Amino acid sequence: MSLEQERDQFFAMSVDLLGIAAADGFFKRVNPSFERVLGWTPAELLARPFFDFVHPDDVAATRDELAKLAAGATTVGFTNRYRTRSGHYLRLQWNASPHPGTGLIYAIARDITDELADQLALQRSEELNRAVLETAVDGIIVIDEAGVIQSFNPAAERIFGWTAEEVIGRNVNMLMPEPYHAAHDGYLHNYLATGEKKIIGIGREVEGLRKDGARFPLELGVSEMHVGELRLFAGITRDISEQKSLLLAAEQANRSKSEFLANMSHELRTPLNAILGFSDLLTEQLDAQLSVGQRRFLRNVRESGEHLLELINDVLDLSKVEAGRLELRAEVVRIAPLLEPVVASARASADAAGLAFEAVVPDDGVVRADPVRLRQVLDNILSNAVKFTPRGSVRLVVRFEGADLVIEVTDTGLGIPASERHRVFGTFERLHEGRVEATGTGLGLALTKRLVELHRGSISFESEEGRGTTFRLVLPEARVEPVHGDRVLVVEDVEADADLIVALAAEAGLQCEVVTTARAAIDAAGADPPRAVVLDLRLPDARGERVLEALKAEPRTRAIPVIVVTVEDDEGRSRPLGADDHLAKPIDRQRLAAWLRGVKEA
């Protein structure tokens, strides 16, 4: 193969754009890559000055570069934009040299459009990251595997009082008070060696150390990242001093409110006790001597006192709910006897108001609920229905939808205007003012909603002004399948305590099976579900919470009532796991006996 043939083959095979041009501005020869990249045929490119293909804004720079080449200079890395056959422009990068004595220029070009776009995107990403770091309200600190600070954003400067120049290159433990300062390197080394996470990927509250030596509460989240071969850790920090101060102030205010309400309760209940007691005494002792009007006066005194007592109780209950101190005492009870007194009271009120009243309640339903609070909820709804129904009827329907307990109260009363519906469950809201006598504090439905939510339930309503209202209450998974048999599982490794529980159960008509370990309790309950479980938390092989978790995880044992009887006076550990009650040792015999009788009667 001749030298010319080799040149032609190289010319044809190159993926770069190879061209020979003259100082007159025309291509003399171009390789096939020109057509592949730009779309123009070689004939089209050779027929016109190459300036016709250059972007108008790049023509002047291209002419200057051509003049330099004509003067014998070499071009390296010159870029301009070439128009394609489809009409858009590509950025080409040129290297070119003049061929001495011929007036020709040999040039190589390649398309760098995508490369420039990638560089621009990277630049924008870096600028964006820099902007985020510089404007973030949270402190962002980046350290390496040795704990050395690599980056410290302006928010971190504000939080800790150090400048970035003062901390970059130093160990991050300079920002930590003891004991975190001394322990940090050990934590980091342990993670790198074992992969065991103490804080990485887990937000937590720690203490920070300012430049002036002040300690302050800090919310910290740490994440791991890899940049090339570098292993880095980014910490997001937030000074929560203000939030802690506000929380402390709120807690203090709440304690003050609770103390005030407790004191007011005592101060109000004392004279109320006298009012109610003496009104009853006068009615009993002087009944024969009283006129009809006097009896009515005493009845009004009694009813007003009872109403005031209800208001006091509502205020106190709502205060406990808002403070998170009102806890339900769930029991397994039959629904019909549970609601019987409420239904009887509502029926009497409806009769007195000249209203028809109907109650549909299943005879054989068994539920898990706080009986006192559930009656309180239904009493509030029914009393409102009667109160705001001048004529017509009130209807109560209780039914089960699967495992859910559904209670509906429908009246044919005034209905709730659309403009007032958002206020129904608000605190201290009294509806229908001006159309019927508005009495009370407006706490009834607000408290009702909170009590329902404590049962993990929901309450809603539908209403049509002038035609009535339906309130619908749903307690999810409240239904309990009745447990047959009178066996109580006693999980207790202290013999004397077990004997006492067995004796109390026998008085209630219940038989006992005693086991002394968590494993035996789980096995016994799973094999033959008992009617109830009396559970100690301190067992030789495991904590009693493990037994609770196992019982609540299985459908067959989930509904079994459990009372915790332990030396630990901490209900917060057992109730969230599903315990129905909690007794601290020494055992309150009366409370445990009452609980066991409730199990027997359920």
**pLDDT tens-digit readout, 410-424:** 999 988 888 888 778
Structure-block tokens of residue 208: 């920070």
List pLDDT tens digits, range 227-261. Answer: 777 888 888 888 888 888 888 887 777 777 666 76
Q: What is the pLDDT of residues 5-35, one digit of tens each?
A: 676 777 777 888 999 999 888 999 999 999 9
Among residues 479, 481, 461, 480, the alpha carbon closest in space to that of 471 is found at 461
Residue 293, SS3 per DSSP: helix
* Residues belonging to the chain: 602
pLDDT band at 321 (very low <50, low <70, confident <90, very high): low
Average pLDDT over residues 429-437: 45
pLDDT of 407 > 90? The answer is: yes
For the entire predicted model, the pTM comes to: 0.42
- Residue type present at position 452: V
Distance of alpha carbon 243 from alpha carbon 423, whole angstroms: 30
Residue carrying structure tokens 């705001």: 388
Residue 356 has, within 13 A of its CA and on its CB side, a CA count of 7
Report, in this order, helix, strand and coil percent for the chain, each rounded to 5: 45, 25, 30
Q: How confident is the model at residue 48 (pLDDT cuts 50, 70, 90)?
A: very high
Q: What is the mean pLDDT of residues 113-132?
A: 73
Residue 292 has pLDDT above 90, yes or no: no
Cβ atoms of residues 105 and 29 within 8 Å: no
Lowest mean pLDDT among 179-183, 251-255, 519-523: 251-255
Whether residue 434 is predicted with pLDDT greater than 60 in this model: the reply is no
Conformational region of residue 584, where left means phi above 0, alpha means psi within -120 to 50, and beta covers everything else = beta
Minimum mean pLDDT among 34-43, 411-420, 429-438, 481-490: which range? Answer: 429-438
Q: Tokens for 313, please give them.
A: 């109780």
Q: How confident is the model at residue 437 (pLDDT cuts 50, 70, 90)?
A: very low
Q: Is the pLDDT of residue 95 over 60?
A: yes
